[in-house]
Structure 1
Amino acid sequence: MKNLSFLLLFIAIQINAQNLFDFDYAQFGYDSTSNYLEFYYSFNQKSMKVSPLDSINVVKGILQISIEDTSSGQKIVDKEWRVSHQVSDSGEAGSKYLIGVVGFIVPHGSYKCMIGGRDVKDEKNQKIYTEYLTSGRFITEQISISDIQLASRIIQDSPNTESIFYKNSMEIYPIPSSVFGENQPVVFYYSELYNLLRISGSEHLKLISSVYNSKRKIVFSKSKPISRSYDSRVEVGSIVVNKYPTDTYTFVIALIDSTANYGVSSSKKFYVFNPSIAITDTMTGQVSGVFASEFGVMADEELDDLFNKSKYISSSAEVDKYDKISTTEGKREFLYNFWKDRDNDPSTPENEFYKLYLTKVTLSNQRYGSLSRIGWKSDRGRVFIIHGEPSEIERYPNQVDTKPYEIWYYNELEGGVIFVFGDLTGFSDYTLLHSTLRGELRDDNWIRRITTF
């Protein structure tokens, strides 16, 4: 009960503290080298001093933003903006927020951002935030999802193209505090999907939208097919939260290609303050990484299929452990940690090793499949997935005295090794005949197995 009381107190303080200034941000793909970074800000007019200006009353604030490249120490943005809003009386000032958005093209990299707001009439009344962020790659050869922008309202097919909130034929009104509930009962959201045509797979992708509470339980979920008609598209929607109890929630969008066994996800935390809705469960916790990842929305059969494809790099202990897991949640947690442990660069938002591995699985299916087996299960597929592209390949498809065979050279492995594959059946199902790599099948007389005379 103490945890619950603290959570309620924390959210209540956030609602009632009347902060002068709040902000949020989201990144969207711009090109192969940069993202478009948007900052959403709000000044609480109730916390600002009203001043007369030419027979009207106004509130004035100063927005400050600096963006520093952490690798070079160079500031790529260091600006101030003066913002103001007319109020008819002091009572109106207490009921509104001054909301806006500014955006920048930011090269991929890591940044330290300082975002602040202050009252022009009271310089002691200010709030400054520090945020560290990474500008990762959205425009790649793999499907990807932008950050999620939360909004208080979205007007689709808006004619108001001059609005600062206008984007992709819509007006999207941000809610920088990310607080919803009794005063804002609907969560609107906006995101962008990229690279839908860049890689072959199923004709339709599956988009899953889910909301998890602080106890890591799903309180909302829906899915729909996404056609690969265009390389990119916008995804907007809404969730009614007027019946959600006061809590911290995480919204997750996952895009799954079941055929390629590949998925990506994007997540966003928000808060609900509904003091009139009873809390039915007293335990609280933190949403773990798995629920904000693509693994958190995979079905049981998808998890099993992914782990089967992962066995080439699994230890026997890991295989035994996975085989003993009986719940979908347990399998999700296992695979999340399995790939997290193999992330070569945890400082980046993407797990490059995981993406590369699944890319090699997809390429194996395209290159090495036969009538009898899918490509990743073939001997050539296994070697390619584990070791990557060979340094050189010698192909002998039409020899008079031998069946078709290939010799793969890996010059960087153990000082140089080879793999020999032969099509023993005549149906393009190449079998490993010989290798000089330690631990692989070795048969120095392999040629006799493919000789035809």
Structure 2
Amino acid sequence: MLTLLVSASTVSAQDMPIQLDVDHASFAYDADASMVEMYMAFEARTLPFTASENGFLARLPVDVTIQRATEALLPGSPAEAVWADSLELSFIIPDTTGLQQGQQFVHQVRAAVPPGEYELQVTVPAMESRAQLMLRRDVIVPDFSDSDLVELSDITLASELRRAQNRDEAFFKNGLVVKPNANQLYGAGLSQLFFYAEAYNLDRLAAQSDEYTLLAYIAQANIPQPIEGLQRRTTRPLRSPDVLVGNFNLAMLPSGSYFLRVALLNAENESVVERSRKFFVYNPHIQQTVTRGLEADFETSQYANMPVEEVDQMMAHIQPIATESERSRMRGIEDLEERRRFLMQFWQTRDPNPNSPVNEFQDEFYQRLQYANDRYTTTFDEGWETDRGRALLKYGTPTNVEPHLFDRGYRPYEIWQYNNIPGEGQAIFIFADRDGYGFFELLHSTVSGERKLVNWQDEIRDT
């Protein structure tokens, strides 16, 4: 199940470390397990090619393991490795002189795994002058067996998607060839983003209608609104399971981080389930456009005469939801009027309905902030400044909060569970009051960039 992807920029180096990208997605399988697909993309110019009868051959041993994450949080997570395989991959090309930067061999493996929290480990053993390569990824395998809920699988980001009949063809699945893009990078040389997902238990919507709506769109990181021209709404008949595919042309997007968001809507146009995937765009010749129309009514807005104290406070409030580029810009703004204009543009960019008299996104944000202040304020910090408050502002209301305030032998702690955080999928946060004074701090999270403490349970034992 190997294929070669081509882009540009010729390189002949064969002595560099092997470059490998790893991705994964989970789908429904049976009552006891979900199907986990693992995608591995090897940079062709970093592989150890040697001359052979048919050209140049690279042999590569690869060990793949799915094992329980240390101190896994999800109930039912097995205690030991649930799946492992040792692969002997072979790659052959007619000539090495044409190897180019960006060429990749892609391999895919599948494994039936019980729902739970795991670590995916991919290892390329040491070979001759090359050191061992090991990549680890946190993996939460969802439980799709609850027939009472409409469910949506993970999303596979692909570089190619087409109809096919040959089941032996690489990446064949449900009458399609879905070639995964393991590094989630698009733009120059690969402008078309394809996606694949599956919907389950859609018959639960039958009481309302015999149809539902698939909404798919591209959004900037941390901004929920669709980018103009990159949104698709499709009415589909109810059938379960249903295969969902689509594509977007990203040729004109400036370089940066983005999200593909997919939602299933019922007859009342309400979202019943959502999933999202983060990806990256590199288009060096496309310049970021600055929208000036957003500030056209600045003089009559609430921001024009906002006192400096309120400006400072709002700039602090929005830190958790600002993009990295916005935070960088905030650090460089000193002029008061420029800061006011920045705040106006910040909220208008996120306004889901600019024609309405209120900004629903901003209202919801400040409702969460008020909730955080009401529930999490301590002697030293307002609620929104605490770890729980910051998580609430940044990621929204958790799907479920599991309090453990009086567990014997443990200090008070909470487990927050999210069904879908954009770019992360299912996620978990652990907050604990280690000192007994009501100050709950974040100990561990499965979200990228958040604190990870594999021995978090040891930290809260009441010894």
- The 2-side partners of 1:326 and 1:222 are apart by 26
Q: Is the 8 A contact 1:192 1:234 kept in 2?
A: yes
Instruction: Report the secondary structure of 1:276's partner residue.
Output: coil
Q: Is the 8 A contact 2:399 2:417 kept in 1?
A: no
Q: Aligned match of 1:173 in 151, 174, 179?
A: 179
Q: 1:134 to 1:18 in 2, by over 3 A?
A: same
Does the alignment pair 1:327 with 2:354? Answer: no
Based on CA coordinates, which of the two structures has the bigger radius of gyration?
A: 1
Aligned amino acid, residue 163 of structure 1:
E
Deviation at 1:80, TM superposition (A): 1.7
Deviation at 1:298, TM superposition (A): 12
Q: 1:172 to 1:262 in 2, by over 3 A?
A: closer
Q: Is the 8 A contact 2:352 2:359 kept in 1?
A: no
- The 2-side partners of 1:298 and 1:275 are apart by 28
1:40-439 equivalences in 2 (<5 Å): 40-54=39-53, 56-70=55-69, 71-94=77-100, 96-117=103-124, 120=127, 122-124=129-131, 126-140=132-146, 141-156=148-163, 158-199=164-205, 200-214=207-221, 216=223, 217-219=225-227, 220-228=230-238, 230-259=239-268, 261=270, 263-281=272-290, 284-285=323-324, 326-330=358-362, 333=365, 340=397, 343-345=400-402, 348-350=417-419
Deviation at 1:97, TM superposition (A): 1.5
Q: Is the 8 A contact 2:351 2:362 kept in 1?
A: no
Deviation at 1:153, TM superposition (A): 0.7
- Aligned-pair identity in percent equals 20
Q: Is the 8 A contact 1:252 1:268 kept in 2?
A: yes
- The 2-side partners of 1:143 and 1:223 are apart by 18
- The 2-side partners of 1:212 and 1:101 are apart by 28
Q: 1:26 to 1:331 in 2, by over 3 A?
A: farther
Deviation string 1:376-406 (CA, Å, 9 cap, x unpaired) is xxxxxxxxxxxxxxxxxxxxxxxxxxxxxxx
- The 2-side partners of 1:30 and 1:286 are apart by 41
Q: 1:342 to 1:253 in 2, by over 3 A?
A: closer
Deviation at 1:66, TM superposition (A): 1.1
Give the unaligned 5+ runs of structure 2. Answer: 1-15, 70-76, 292-321, 327-349, 369-391, 403-414, 421-463
Q: Is the 8 A contact 1:20 1:118 kept in 2?
A: no
- The 2-side partners of 1:267 and 1:255 are apart by 12
- The 1-side partners of 2:80 and 2:134 are apart by 20
- The 1-side partners of 2:17 and 2:323 are apart by 26
Deviation at 1:343, TM superposition (A): 1.8
What's the TM-score once normalised by structure 2's chain length?
A: 0.58
Deviation at 1:274, TM superposition (A): 0.4
Q: 1:233 to 1:187 in 2, by over 3 A?
A: same
- The 2-side partners of 1:251 and 1:286 are apart by 19
- The 2-side partners of 1:203 and 1:298 are apart by 32
Q: Is the 8 A contact 2:116 2:142 kept in 1?
A: yes
Q: 1:168 to 1:176 in 2, by over 3 A?
A: same
Deviation string 1:97-154 (CA, Å, 9 cap, x unpaired) is 2111000001111112212345755541x53221122211224211111111011111
Instruction: Report the secondary structure of 1:329's partner residue.
Output: helix
Q: 1:93 to 1:137 in 2, by over 3 A?
A: same
Q: Is the 8 A contact 2:19 2:43 kept in 1?
A: yes
| Residue number in structure 2 paired with 1:37 | 36
- The 2-side partners of 1:45 and 1:65 are apart by 20
CA RMSD of aligned residues (A): 3.4
- The 2-side partners of 1:328 and 1:152 are apart by 36
Q: 1:68 to 1:332 in 2, by over 3 A?
A: same
| Residue number in structure 2 paired with 1:303 | none
| Pairs aligned (count) | 302
- Worse-superposed segment, 48-57 or 33-42: 48-57
Q: 1:235 to 1:271 in 2, by over 3 A?
A: same
- The 2-side partners of 1:51 and 1:92 are apart by 15
- Worse-superposed segment, 21-30 or 95-104: 95-104
Q: 1:183 to 1:262 in 2, by over 3 A?
A: closer
Instruction: Report the secondary structure of 2:324's partner residue.
Output: coil
Q: Is the 8 A contact 1:61 1:120 kept in 2?
A: no
